[in-house]
Structure 1
Amino acid sequence: MPSYRSAPVRSAPSGSPRALSVSVSAKRTIAGLSLWWLASPIAFILSTVVGLNSRDRDPFWEVASAVLLWSGIGGVVVAPAVGLLIAFRLRQRPARRRFAIMGTVSLAVCALALLFWEFAMECAPGQAC
């Protein structure tokens, strides 16, 4: 007859089912924000393509271009910030590192884009601006 005292004790998962579901939803939110950030360059490119190819200025394509543009901007700016806040709140170290890197890359890309914009808007020699 086996002794139950020598068997290893396996406890149930810690926390209530509500705490486990919050953890799953938080992980899904973190994954969704990461995917949004990864898709933002594609949204920028599609916004440019749609905006340049709608020669007849169809209102539908103008709205589609604006939605894609704002989706890309939100992915670059909002996704790292919100993700970092969620990761700090849930004490998830890998997610914190990921969102910190995402924020740094986003900041560097935005700084380079602003620098390029300043050089692109500079007047040519001999022209009055």
Structure 2
Amino acid sequence: MVPDDPALAGAPSGGRVTSRLIVGLTAWWLAFPIAFWAGSVLFDNDVYVDSFRDWVGRVLLILAIGGALLSPIAGIAVSLVGRRRGACAQFAMMAALSFGGFFYLLYALLTAD
């Protein structure tokens, strides 16, 4: 392939794709508290009636948990493949914070009387 090929003029390069993935995964991690709050607000107290509002609340809670736990892992993988050392360190810190909080909540739930 010739670098000046007009068919490749609009195609994003590997560096831009990696940068966009890193920004997207970071935004997903930053938005998980809002999604968690919105998902927990949407649940009704009635456990026998399953409404659209409850379904949206469940989807938001799943997205929040995914944003907290999966986005740092995916970000580390993307930044390692894209050879972005700074982004890899940032995702490692995000993972440490997320998993530290998750394990603390898990410990608190398991030792509750």
Q: Distance in 2 between matches of 1:18 and 1:89?
A: 23
Match of 1:108 in 2: 100
Match of 1:78 in 2: 70
Paired residue type of 2:27: L
Q: Distance in 2 between matches of 1:107 and 1:82?
A: 14
Q: Bigger CA drift: 42-51 or 78-87? A: 42-51
Distance 1:31 1:93, change over 3 A: same
Measured after TM superposition, the shift of residue 18 of structure 1 is 8.5
Match of 1:5 in 2: none
Paired residue type of 2:15: S
1:37 aligns with 2:41: no
Distance 1:76 1:86, change over 3 A: same
Measured after TM superposition, the shift of residue 76 of structure 1 is 1.1
Aligned residue pairs, count: 104
Match of 1:95 in 2: 87
Give the TM-score, by structure 1 length: 0.72
Distance 1:119 1:45, change over 3 A: farther
Measured after TM superposition, the shift of residue 119 of structure 1 is 3.6
User: Structure 2: which 5+ runs fail to align?
Assistant: 1-7
Q: Distance in 1 between matches of 2:10 and 2:88?
A: 23
User: Structure 1: which 5+ runs fail to align?
Assistant: 1-15, 123-129
| Structure of larger gyration radius | 1
Measured after TM superposition, the shift of residue 19 of structure 1 is 8.8
Q: Aligned residues: percent identity?
A: 34
Q: Report Cα offsets for 1:71-100 as digits up to 9, x if no partner.
A: 011101110001100101111011001100
Paired residue type of 2:93: I
